[in-house]
Amino acid sequence: MRIFITGCNGQLGCELKRLLSCGMAEIGPIPSAYEGAKVLAADVDDLDITDAAAVDAFFAEHAFDVVINGAAYTNVDGCEANEELAYAVNAEGPRNLARACAAQGAKLVHVSTDYVFPGTEAGERTEEDQTDPVSAYGRTKLAGERAVLETWEKSFVVRTAWLYGYVGKNFVKTMLRLADSLGALTVVADQLGNPTSANDLAYELLKIALTDDYGIYHCTNNGICSWADFARAIVERAGYDPAIVTSCTSDEYAAAHPDAARRPAFSALANAHLARTVGDEMRPWEAALDTYMANLEHLGA
């Protein structure tokens, strides 16, 4: 099998490379179909997916069976100030990849986000629920979903949420750093979602890519919590008193950070399509976090 991973230096890209190299995820062994796979991985310095001519030239030199797009502009606040750039990366880039995949018949796995939903209704969102993003990040990611699905029929759009991995920056590492440096944290308590391990997500993406069940998927670790709940779980596992985390509301956070983008209040996802097809093996978010914290010291970067 010939596999191409974009955004290979990001949280998800690094886990995909790890799994394909060792054949094992924290959930368990990856499918045997990936044994001996030829993996090509690139980041923006190797291939700028916003450059259609560069993408076409790259694909003219290589043939792939599966392309997994982990490239994205994920700085939610940054997208508010740079929506044109975010659109180029999050929408036009995926369109370019979909067009190139269509030309050679390669499957495309495109990663999207819970932020395509408005977050105004309590409960979990399914793949069929109405999208209506409240931020530039959400708008550009939704445009990317539509571009992919309109361009190439052999595409999977996989929405995830609150992602953290061993390599790079994420909420878990930020909470640990602030707990160490400040000794006290104030975290939003009225936004609910699903913390998700990049290792678990990578495992499920590899399963999905072997099927012909194209379309939209949700893929997060199971269980719902607030950002404040998540923060308390993180610091407690690191040996701190969870009481160092104080809750605030989204309005209070916005008043203190006026340039911050709006976030959906309820963005938890239900892995319905996943469960109906390859099976939902995503762990409870607490179990995934346990493993991550145990491994972070020797795997983190």
Per-residue pLDDT of the chain (301 residues; tens, 9 = 90+): 999 999 999 999 999 999 999 999 999 999 999 999 999 999 999 999 999 999 999 999 999 999 999 999 999 999 999 999 999 999 999 999 999 999 999 999 999 999 999 999 999 999 999 999 999 999 999 999 999 999 999 999 999 999 999 999 999 999 999 999 999 999 999 999 999 999 999 999 999 999 999 999 999 999 999 999 999 999 999 999 999 999 999 999 999 999 899 999 999 999 999 999 999 999 999 999 999 999 998 887 6
Domain boundary assignment for the chain: 2-170+194-222+268-285
- 73 labelled catalytic: no
Quote the distance between the C-alpha of residue 122 and its chain's center.
22
Tokens of 247: 């809750």
Q: Which CATH architecture has domain 2-170+194-222+268-285?
A: 3-Layer(aba) Sandwich (3.40)
In b/e form, how buried is each residue of 148-184, taking b as 16+ CB within 10 angstroms? bbebbeebbbbbbbbbbbbbbebbbbebbebbeeeee
DSSP codes of every residue in 83-125: HHHHHIIIIIHHHHHHHHHHHHT-EEEEEEEGGGS---SSSPB
Please answer whether residues 152 and 295 qualify as being in contact, where contact means their C-beta atoms are separated by less than 8 angstroms. Answer: no
pTM greater than 0.95 = yes
Marked catalytic residue, from 137, 164, 203, 240: 137
